[in-house]
């Protein structure tokens, strides 16, 4: 009996379980997340070659649709597409027709008319990439590069790759995510991915004003005390304060936040001796993390950026492959129906 897929999985996966769109880590099968990590591993060395390209997306057009500002994510998506030999179009939203009153759907239709094969979307509204994925024509893949407070699946997967690289796997691992959990799309995607991949425990640490009310329902243990939350963890993931998403004053001051929740060597002492420190960036030194930790021997923050290119190459190549698989299946089905119709007509 075929298992019933969650709505998000039905949008993201082909009938045979391949990646069609990548919108969220939630509800995806463990085998698919592992396939992304394994595929990324095959791309890590591409950046060290004399010719930093593979031909997997040659002839394909990737459009970066960033409705929010981004440096790291947009740059790594652009590099990933280029290293896959795709043509890349970066749409300047501030100067596009969207800023002149054109609807998002009309913008999409015009880009589809230019034979785009993939949209990489960052949007301030939660759910925007799902809307786009449901509206695009068949054979156009959609990758979520971050939507509102909802999800940032490729960031979560590059973090999973980093953890697996340094820890060998997820079994038995205790992972702490610290800081502004409430406004973090990254944290939500990380929690889903960690639970799917079999981490022993996911901990969310922060002041109550920055913790979501459904934190435990996500599959995480909540701590408001830094020392207790960091005790014996294997991985510490720090998050910045997302002041641009805060509607009101949720903290007394940044200095008070750093005193209680900023990661310095004294607080890191509560974690395991071989614990690694991660951060999705951009980091705010002296707010959520001290320079002594960010630049210290246990920090793998810059390695995350390097791995991010390989992970995004993996996701993009797998999504295009899934779309091609869908297209071939549809063509075969159409031919079969036409053949059956022709046979009936000859009787």
- Is residue 64 helix, strand or coil? strand
* Phi (first) and psi of residue 71, to 5 degrees: -110, -60
Q: Is the pTM of this model over 0.95?
A: no
Stronger pLDDT, 157 or 253, i.e. the higher one: 157
Average pLDDT value for residue range 249-276: 91
pLDDT band at 94 (very low <50, low <70, confident <90, very high): low
pLDDT band at 35 (very low <50, low <70, confident <90, very high): very high
With a cut of 70, say whether residue 155 has pLDDT above it: yes
Count Cα neighbours of 10 within 13 Å in the Cβ-side half-sphere. 7
Complete edge-to-edge strand list for the sheet that includes strand 201-205: 221-223, 201-205, 174-178, 235-238, 276-278
Helix-helix angle 153-167:185-196, to 10 degrees: 50
Instruction: Provide the pLDDT for residue 108.
Output: 87
Q: What angle do CA 288, 294, 295 make, to 5 degrees?
A: 155
What are 297-306's contacts with CB under 8 Å, separation 24+? 298/268, 298/274, 300/162, 300/166, 300/276, 301/277, 303/162, 303/165, 304/158, 304/159, 304/162, 304/278, 304/279, 304/280, 305/72, 305/76, 305/281, 306/44, 306/47
Stronger pLDDT, 341 or 23, i.e. the higher one: 23
pLDDT tens profile 104-119: 888 889 989 999 999 9
Average pLDDT value for residue range 139-168: 97
Q: What angle do CA 209, 205, 130 make, to 5 degrees?
A: 75
CATH assignment, 153-303:
3.40.50.1370
- 7-151+305-322: CATH topology is Rossmann fold (3.40.50)
Contact by Cβ (8 Å): 307, 40: yes
Q: Domain segments of the chain: what residues?
A: 7-151+305-322, 153-303
Place of tokens 């396939």: 35
Tokens of 330: 């549809």
Tokens of 60: 């394909």
**Secondary structure letter of residue 6 according to DSSP:** P
Tokens of 151: 């999800």
Stronger pLDDT, 92 or 208, i.e. the higher one: 208
- Is residue 61 helix, strand or coil? strand
Q: What angle do CA 9, 19, 38 make, to 5 degrees?
A: 115
7-151+305-322 against 153-303: fold identical = yes
Beta-carbon neighbour count of residue 126 at 10 Å?
13
With a cut of 90, say whether residue 194 has pLDDT above it: yes
Count Cα neighbours of 22 within 13 Å in the Cβ-side half-sphere. 32
Query: What distance lies between CA 200 and its chain's CA centroid?
Result: 21
Most confident of 65-69, 112-116, 169-173: 169-173
Q: Does the N-terminal peptide bond of residue 78 adopt cis geometry, omega within 30 degrees of 0? A: no
- Is residue 169 helix, strand or coil? coil
- For residue 203, the cross-strand partners are 176, 221
């Amino acid at each position: 009996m075929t298992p019933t897929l969650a709505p998000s999985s039905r949008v993201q996966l082909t009938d045979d379980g391949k990646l069609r769109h990548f919108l969220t880590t939630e509800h995806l099968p463990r085998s698919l997340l592992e396939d992304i990590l394994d595929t990324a591993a095959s791309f890590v060395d591409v950046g060290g070659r004399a010719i930093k390209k593979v031909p997997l997306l040659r002839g394909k057009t990737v459009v970066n649709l960033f409705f929010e500002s981004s440096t790291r994510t947009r740059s790594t998506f652009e590099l990933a597409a280029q290293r896959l030999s795709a043509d890349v179009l970066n749409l300047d939203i501030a100067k596009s027709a969207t800023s002149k009153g054109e609807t998002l759907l009309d913008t999409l239709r015009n880009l589809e008319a230019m034979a785009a094969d993939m949209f990489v979307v960052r949007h301030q509204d939660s759910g925007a990439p799902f809307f786009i994925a449901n509206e695009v024509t068949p054979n156009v893949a959609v990758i979520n590069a971050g939507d509102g407070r909802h999800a940032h699946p490729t960031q979560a997967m590059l973090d999973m790759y980093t953890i697996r690289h340094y820890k060998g796997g997820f079994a038995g691992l205790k992972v702490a995510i610290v800081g502004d959990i409430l406004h973090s799309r990254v944290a939500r995607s990380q929690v889903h991915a960690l639970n799917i991949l079999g981490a022993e425990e996911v901990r969310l640490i922060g002041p109550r004003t920055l913790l979501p009310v459904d934190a435990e329902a996500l599959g995480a243990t909540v701590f408001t005390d830094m020392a207790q939350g960091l005790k014996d963890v294997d991985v510490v993931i720090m998050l910045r304060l997302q002041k641009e998403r805060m509607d009101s004053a949720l903290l007394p001051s940044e200095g008070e936040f750093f005193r209680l929740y900023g990661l310095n060597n004294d607080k890191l002492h509560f974690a395991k001796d071989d614990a690694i420190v991660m951060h999705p960036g951009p980091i705010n030194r002296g707010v959520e993390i001290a320079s002594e930790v960010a630049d210290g021997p246990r920090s793998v923050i810059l390695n995350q950026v390097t791995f991010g290119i390989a992970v995004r190459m993996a996701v993009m190549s797998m999504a295009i492959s899934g779309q091609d698989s869908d297209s071939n299946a549809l063509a075969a089905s159409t031919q079969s129906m036409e053949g059956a119709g022709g046979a009936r007509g000859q009787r």
